[in-house]
């Protein structure tokens, strides 16, 4: 007896209904990417290990899925190393390839490798699967799809403006109104650290600040003290704890706090450019909000930092994020190429649309009409009609076997097919079709032409 089959943890099968809903989201994102002039690229699922390793920190390296070399892979491992039985040391000898961990590093590799064919500034989008050997939990999987748009080769802040518009465009199309696009800037965070004399503790400082929502003002202050930031420095931070009002008001108090830091002032200038222009252009359904606690992968970003929150009535983490990184391709030897990009969290957006019941009904529609099978001659008559319907783009099916009527009707019902056609000897003789509405059982007799017109 075969063992009951199962899936590796953190991976999923997608049923037709789930695929249809996921495709609805992905197609919506894709249409906005294209509307904004982004072009698709694709990269392989696995890369040479050296392309990926060392790019995501120690923790990241551990979470990368490694692929075992083919054939007699132990043959080339020298005896001494082998005898150590040390997993970490053996891995590079028996695995040369690894599954991609994100789309950013492969994109950087792509840009460097194809720099002579690419027309810069290069606006690319990429919607592909990535893999992480992370502990699976609700909404976190080991295999998931990333949807990224990035521009490389331009420092223009108009890109930041467009990326905010792009988020707004996608969420509006998905009828997910009331999203908040939070914006911050690495230079503002650096400026704050500078002003309080904690340049060297930027990460500690940011990690603590990021928890303001959860642990409150006193909690943050306690953590800062523990990390060795002085009480005097923390006092200077006071304006951040009473950081309220609209974006303009926040920018004014931030300007006062950072008036001695050139870096900080530069960061404010960049944010002002983005917010001011977004206000001139208008957003359709989202709002933009300055959030100085926003840090997201701080070591990575050099300018703008983005994060999107779902509407307030939904309890879920961020549904998108991104930012500017000024040396994306430097790791592969191409210096001075600035990039800025955003990402959509497909799985979370799916959960939000589900919770708010925002999936349009038509997403799940498939076959429009099922022809009942009464036997070989009748089936041929049905297939002739089906062939004509399909020519008109109408999705029609023949029930494949001449099973009992009840079984065939139950099939149409379960598949949520709205119409069935019954065509037996009488219909064949009269060259007609009996069309039955599954909803209420009403039926009418139609010619081929009328049937096409009805179902179109």
Residues between 52 and 91 that touch its own copies (CB under 8 A): 62-63, 65-68, 70-75, 77, 82, 85-88, 90-91
CB of 16 to its own copies, least distance (A): 4
Q: Does 285 bind its own copies (CB under 8 A)?
A: no
Q: Does 331 bind its own copies (CB under 8 A)?
A: yes
Q: Does 440 bind its own copies (CB under 8 A)?
A: no
- Interacting residues with its own copies between 240 and 259 (CB under 8 A): none
- Nearer Cβ to its own copies (19/252): 19
Q: Does 406 bind its own copies (CB under 8 A)?
A: no
Q: Give the helix/strand (H/E) hosting 434.
A: strand 433-437
Q: Does 215 bind its own copies (CB under 8 A)?
A: no
List the one residue from 57, 81, 92, 114 that touches its own copies (CB under 8 A). Answer: 114
**Which stretch, 200-208, 264-272, 348-356, 381-389, contacts its own copies (CB under 8 A)?**
381-389
Q: Does 137 bind its own copies (CB under 8 A)?
A: no
Q: Does 112 bind its own copies (CB under 8 A)?
A: yes
- Within 10 angstroms of residue 134's Cβ, the number of other Cβ atoms is 14
CB of 328 to its own copies, least distance (A): 13
List the one residue from 57, 139, 155, 360 that touches its own copies (CB under 8 A). Answer: 155
Burial class (CB in 10 A: 0-12, 13-18, 19+), 133: middle
List the one residue from 80, 117, 218, 312 that touches its own copies (CB under 8 A). Answer: 117
Q: Does 269 bind its own copies (CB under 8 A)?
A: no
CB 402 within 8 A of CB 375: yes
**Which stretch, 123-131, 237-245, 319-327, 436-444, contacts its own copies (CB under 8 A)?**
123-131
List the one residue from 400, 444, 447, 456 that touches its own copies (CB under 8 A). Answer: 400
Q: Does 3 bind its own copies (CB under 8 A)?
A: yes
Distances 317 to 167, 178, 308, 443 between C-alpha atoms, Å: 16, 15, 9, 50
List the one residue from 26, 60, 113, 204 that touches its own copies (CB under 8 A). Answer: 113
Q: What's the CA gap between 451 and 435, in Å, rounded?
A: 8
List the one residue from 214, 361, 362, 414 that touches its own copies (CB under 8 A). Answer: 414
**Closest C-alpha among 336, 395, 332, 388 to residue 367:** 395
- Nearer Cβ to its own copies (18/355): 18
Q: Which residues contact 135 (CB under 8 A, 6 or more apart)?
A: none
Q: Which residues contact 70 (CB under 8 A, 6 or more apart)?
A: none
- Nearer Cβ to its own copies (63/207): 63
**Which stretch, 121-129, 186-194, 239-247, 252-260, contacts its own copies (CB under 8 A)?**
121-129
Q: Does 115 bind its own copies (CB under 8 A)?
A: no
Cis ω for the linkage preceding 121 (within 30 of 0): yes
Q: If binding means CB under 8 A, how many residues of this protein chain bind its own copies? A: 109
| Matching residue, tokens 């592909």 | 128
Q: Does 12 bind its own copies (CB under 8 A)?
A: yes
CB 223 within 8 A of CB 210: no
Distances 237 to 195, 216, 231, 271 between C-alpha atoms, Å: 9, 14, 10, 20
**CB-hemisphere CA count at 13 Å for 139?**
13
Q: What's the CA gap between 208 and 187, in Å, rounded?
A: 17
CB of 95 to its own copies, least distance (A): 5
Q: Which residues contact 43 (CB under 8 A, 6 or more apart)?
A: 100, 103, 106, 107, 109, 110, 126, 128
- Nearer Cβ to its own copies (164/254): 164
């Amino acid at each position: 007896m075969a063992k009951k089959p199962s899936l590796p943890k953190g991976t999923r099968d997608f049923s037709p209904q789930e695929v249809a809903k996921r495709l609805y989201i992905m197609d919506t994102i894709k249409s906005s990417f294209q509307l904004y002039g982004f072009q698709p690229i694709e990269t392989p699922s696995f890369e040479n290990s050296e392309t990926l390793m060392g790019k995501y920190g120690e923790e990241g390296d551990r979470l990368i899925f490694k692929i075992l070399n083919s054939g007699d892979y132990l043959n080339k491992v020298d005896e001494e190393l082998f005898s150590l039985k040390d997993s970490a040391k053996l891995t590079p000898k028996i695995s040369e390839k690894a599954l991609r961990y994100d789309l950013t590093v492969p994109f950087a590799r792509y840009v460097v490798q194809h720099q002579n064919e690419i027309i810069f500034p290069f606006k690319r989008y990429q919607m592909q699967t990535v893999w992480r050997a992370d502990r699976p939990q609700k909404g976190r999987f080991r295999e998931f799809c990333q949807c990224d748009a990035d521009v490389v080769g331009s420092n223009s802040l108009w890109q930041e403006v467009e990326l905010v518009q792009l988020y707004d465009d996608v969420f509006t199309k998905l009828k997910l109104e009331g999203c908040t696009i939070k914006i911050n800037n690495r230079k503002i965070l650096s400026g704050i650290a500078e002003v309080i004399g904690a340049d060297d503790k930027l990460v500690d400082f940011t990690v603590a600040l990021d928890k303001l929502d959860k642990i409150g003002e006193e909690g943050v202050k306690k953590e800062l003290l523990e990390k060795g930031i002085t009480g005097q420095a923390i006092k200077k931070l006071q304006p951040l704890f009473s950081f309220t009002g609209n974006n303009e008001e926040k920018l004014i108090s931030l300007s006062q706090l950072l008036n001695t830091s050139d870096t900080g002032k530069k960061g404010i200038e960049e944010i002002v450019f983005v917010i001011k222009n977004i206000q001139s252009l208008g957003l359709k359904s989202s709002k933009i909000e300055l959030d100085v606690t926003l840090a997201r992968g701080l070591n990575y970003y050099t300018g703008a930092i983005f994060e999107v929150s779902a509407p307030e009535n939904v309890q879920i983490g961020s549904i998108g994020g991104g930012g500017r990184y000024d040396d994306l391709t430097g790791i592969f030897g191409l210096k001075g190429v600035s990039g800025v990009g955003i990402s959509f969290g497909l799985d979370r957006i799916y959960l939000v649309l589900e919770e708010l019941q925002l999936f349009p009904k038509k997403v799940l529609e498939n076959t429009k009409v099922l022809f009942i099978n009464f036997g070989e001659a009748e089936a041929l008559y049905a297939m002739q009609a089906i062939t004509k319907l399909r020519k008109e783009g109408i999705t029609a099916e023949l029930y494949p076997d001449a099973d009992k009527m009840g079984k065939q009707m139950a099939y149409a019902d379960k598949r949520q097919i709205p119409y069935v056609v019954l065509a037996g000897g009488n219909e064949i003789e009269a060259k007609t079709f009996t069309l039955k509405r599954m909803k209420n059982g009403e039926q009418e007799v139609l010619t081929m032409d009328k049937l096409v017109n009805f179902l179109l």
